Chain A
């Protein structure tokens, strides 16, 4: 049972335009969501996160939107740059009581290519 899904395996955009990466989830118990970027031969790098009580979080060129009723989140990158070309993973986590268990469930990833 895939609790976190990224249905688009790849996305190609022109430099300077907006990149929108999507993620759907099925478990309404998730407390927070994260986006990671991964280059080949490197580990995932944390980009941005959002709590389930928020609907938007922005950090520079990166904005994450959360639609709880639709169980959907998206990452917007504006403007896109060639260096943004990488695999992007969304992940979801659960807090048990007052403790963050740290357990993350990842989507399958979306490969973003930004063309110069």
Chain B
């Protein structure tokens, strides 16, 4: 399976600031996704990162708050904008192909003060 690297692995940020999380895959993949896991909660899909076009956001998530880029088939970024304590979560990148299960990176643990 693909090797997925997420950076940073963790960060502590001030409210009102923004943080960009990177996801790098060691091979080309069709699909890349961004999930959030809030404390004690399940994983929730934020958006599907589309190569060369705008991401597809799930209900409750908007581009202004979570801008996503995917310039090629091996890389994507998620930005968490204008952060508040409610954004404290683990953010996870996952990758998949048509008939293969998704594989996840180790996540970015984000704490907002």
Verify B104–A44 contact, CB threshold 8 A: yes
Chain A residue contacts of B94, Cβ below 8 A: 43
**Contact among B6, B42, B45, B98 for A108, CB-based, below 8 A:** B42
Once bound together, how far apart are the Cα atoms of A41 and B108, in whole Å?
9
B98 — nearest CB in chain A belongs to which residue?
A: A100
Binding site for B on A (CB under 8 A): 4, 34, 36, 41-46, 49, 89, 91, 99-109
Residues of B near any A CB (own CB < 8 A)? 1, 4, 6, 31, 33, 41-45, 48, 58, 92, 94, 96, 98-99, 101-107, 109
Partner of A43, one of B31, B48, B96, B107: B107
Q: Is the CB of B98 within 8 A of A42?
A: no
Chain A nearest Cβ from B62, distance in angstroms: 18
What is the interface of chain B mostly: helix, strand, loop, or mixed?
strand
B90 closest partner in A (C-beta): A43
Asked, given contacts A102-B48, A108-B41, A109-B42, whether A42 binds B106 with beta carbons under 8 Å apart, the answer is yes
- Residue of A41, A42, A44, A102 touching B43 (CB-CB under 8 A): A44
11 A-B pairs, CB-CB below 8 angstroms? A36-B104, A42-B107, A43-B94, A45-B104, A99-B98, A100-B98, A100-B99, A101-B48, A103-B48, A108-B41, A108-B42
The distance in angstroms between the C-alpha atoms of A4 and B103, with both chains bound, is: 19
- In this complex, what residue of B is CB-closest to A36? B104
> Do the beta carbons of B45 and A89 come within 8 Å of each other?
no
Nearest-neighbour CB distance to chain A for B5, whole angstroms, equals 11
Of chain A, the residue at the smallest CB distance from B104 is A43
Instruction: Give the residue name and chain of the A residue nearest to B32 (CB).
Output: A102
